[in-house]
């Protein structure tokens, strides 16, 4: 895997050979096992998760351990490689706890000083996450932004993503961060009916004194914010992959669909709309890659890069999905075509880890400008 560049290096928005190889492996797996049509079938089944697919992705390819150091059983890679995985998962609207477990929860645990000899429990959990044997989820609402006021205290949390798939919950309390087994007494996970059927939400209730404390209050909050920042930054890559699929599907359909003995894609009005969308997707790629590179380099500009990426990429993904549904015509409006899954994921992602408006406010504060009106 690629080495992390120095923190003061210029942003590298290009993909390395290693990243391209990783993309090819993940795309091949998802094409065989979990393309967008398969995601629709899984969503209709009521259980969107494919355990075998997760095992192949997490353990077979090693994607779950990209952010985990090699000494803890991971790949010792960086956020750039994790971003490539999320691009491909976004393209397939894949139901997998990668963002929640392999990014947010993993980064949170890494912020709890797993190298300390006294923290063998953290190291052991990170090893289990890296090998795909366990799934951990940060017990906060999916909408929580990296700089939001963190809710502490109280047993119940609403809207926790992938909690129904989790083995361990990371619970923030007033006296620190706790790792709680979902099978423990006093823990209940009640599934909700989400807009996006490929990323299930749940209400989580954890009655004290469940769980093992893994970080004291000052370290706990910093670790949680680290996890949320990494999640928000790499969510932009998922949004990028989703937007790319929507654009490609729209172009493919408008080339094949004929009216008045011409491909509908040859009509000037549609050409302009797709050209505009292409420009937005290219810009989103630059923003998403910049965020991933800043996180990988440990740059002090990472919060700025993440806020910029989220302020832009969320709306691009929604626009791309809306154009896909509309320009596919009647086909796009049917349940049988997976375009609606892309639109629902895009709308869910737009609110996840902070809305674009929230990130614009953060961006304005970071650069010292007045907030958006």
Share of the chain above pLDDT 90, in %: 69
How far is the C-alpha of 324 from the C-alpha of 254, rounded, in Å?
Answer: 10
What average pLDDT is seen over the chain?
Answer: 90
Is residue 372 pLDDT above 70, yes or no? no
| pLDDT of res. 37 | 73
- Partners of residue 181 on adjacent β-strands: 168
Condensed to tens digits (0 to 9), the pLDDT of residues 155-182 reads 789 999 999 999 999 999 988 999 999 9
Question: Could you tell me the pLDDT band of residue 361, with boundaries at 50, 70 and 90?
Answer: very high
Question: Could you tell me the pLDDT band of residue 137, with boundaries at 50, 70 and 90?
Answer: very high
Is residue 90 pLDDT above 90, yes or no? yes
Q: Please, which residues have CB within 8 angstroms of residue 213's CB and are 6 or more apart in sequence? A: 175, 176, 177, 178
Condensed to tens digits (0 to 9), the pLDDT of residues 329-339 reads 878 778 888 88
Is residue 114 pLDDT above 70, yes or no? no
Residue whose tokens read 């930054």 = 233
Condensed to tens digits (0 to 9), the pLDDT of residues 179-217 reads 999 998 889 999 998 999 899 999 999 887 678 899 988
DSSP string, 353-372: TS-HHHHHHHHHHHHT-PPP
Is residue 228 pLDDT above 80, yes or no? yes
149: number of CA atoms within 13 Å, CB side? Answer: 2
Q: Please, which residues have CB within 8 angstroms of residue 123's CB and are 6 or more apart in sequence? A: 72, 114, 115
- Partners of residue 263 on adjacent β-strands: 258
| pLDDT of res. 5 | 52
Q: Please, which residues have CB within 8 angstroms of residue 259's CB and are 6 or more apart in sequence? A: none
| pLDDT of res. 55 | 94
| pTM for this model (two decimals) | 0.93
CATH topology of domain 220-366: Butyryl-CoA Dehydrogenase, subunit A; domain 3 (1.20.140)
Is residue 118 pLDDT above 70, yes or no? no
Share of the chain above pLDDT 70, in %: 94
**Nearest residue to 83 via CA among 5, 6, 15:** 15
**pLDDT, mean of residues 289-301:** 96
**Nearest residue to 229 via CA among 310, 163, 158, 283:** 310
Condensed to tens digits (0 to 9), the pLDDT of residues 120-131 reads 788 999 999 999
Is residue 287 pLDDT above 90, yes or no? yes
Question: Could you tell me the pLDDT band of residue 4, with boundaries at 50, 70 and 90?
Answer: low
DSSP string, 128-173: HHHTTS--EEE-S-TT--TTSPPP-SSSEEEEEETGGG-SEEEEEE
Long-range residue pairs from 17-21, CB within 8 A, at least 24 positions apart, any chain: 18/81, 19/80, 19/81, 19/84
Question: Could you tell me the pLDDT band of residue 1, with boundaries at 50, 70 and 90?
Answer: low
Question: Could you tell me the pLDDT band of residue 9, with boundaries at 50, 70 and 90?
Answer: low
Question: Could you tell me the pLDDT band of residue 364, with boundaries at 50, 70 and 90?
Answer: very high
């Amino acid at each position: 895997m690629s080495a992390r560049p120095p923190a003061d290096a210029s942003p590298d928005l290009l993909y390395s050979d290693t990243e391209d190889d990783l993309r090819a492996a993940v795309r091949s797996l998802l094409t065989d096992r979990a393309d967008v049509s398969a995601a629709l079938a899984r969503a209709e089944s009521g259980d969107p998760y494919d355990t075998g697919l997760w095992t192949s992705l997490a353990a077979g390819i090693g994607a779950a351990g990209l952010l985990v150091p090699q000494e803890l059983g991971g790949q010792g890679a960086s956020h750039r490689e994790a971003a490539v995985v999320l691009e491909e998962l976004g393209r397939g609207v894949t139901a997998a706890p990668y963002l929640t477990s392999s990014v947010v929860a993993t980064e949170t645990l890494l912020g709890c000083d797993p190298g300390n000899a006294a923290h063998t429990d953290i190291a052991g959990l990170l090893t289990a996450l890296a090998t795909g044997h366990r799934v951990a989820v940060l017990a906060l609402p999916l909408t929580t932004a990296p700089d939001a006021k963190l809710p502490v205290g109280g047993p119940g949390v609403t809207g926790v993503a992938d909690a129904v798939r989790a083995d361990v919950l990371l619970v923030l309390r007033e006296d620190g961060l706790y790792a709680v087994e979902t099978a423990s007494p006093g823990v209940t996970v009640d599934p909700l009916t989400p807009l996006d059927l490929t990323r299930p939400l749940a209400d989580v209730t954890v009655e004290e004194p469940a769980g093992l404390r893994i970080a004291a209050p000052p370290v706990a909050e910093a670790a949680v914010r680290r996890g949320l920042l990494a999640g928000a930054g790499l969510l932009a890559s998922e949004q990028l992959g989703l937007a790319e699929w929507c654009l490609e599907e729209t172009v493919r359909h408008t080339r094949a669909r004929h009216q008045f003995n011409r491909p509908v894609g040859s009509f000037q009005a549609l050409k302009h709309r797709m050209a505009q969308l292409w420009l937005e997707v290219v810009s989103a790629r630059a923003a998403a890659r910049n965020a991933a590179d800043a996180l990988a380099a440990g740059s002090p500009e990472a919060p700025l890069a993440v806020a910029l990426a989220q302020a832009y990429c969320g709306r691009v993904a929604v626009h791309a999905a809306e154009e896909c549904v509309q320009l596919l015509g009647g086909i796009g409006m049917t349940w049988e075509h997976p375009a609606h899954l892309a639109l629902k994921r895009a709308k869910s992602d737009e609110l996840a880890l902070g809305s674009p408006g929230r990130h614009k406010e953060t961006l304005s504060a970071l650069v010292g400008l007045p907030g958006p009106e």
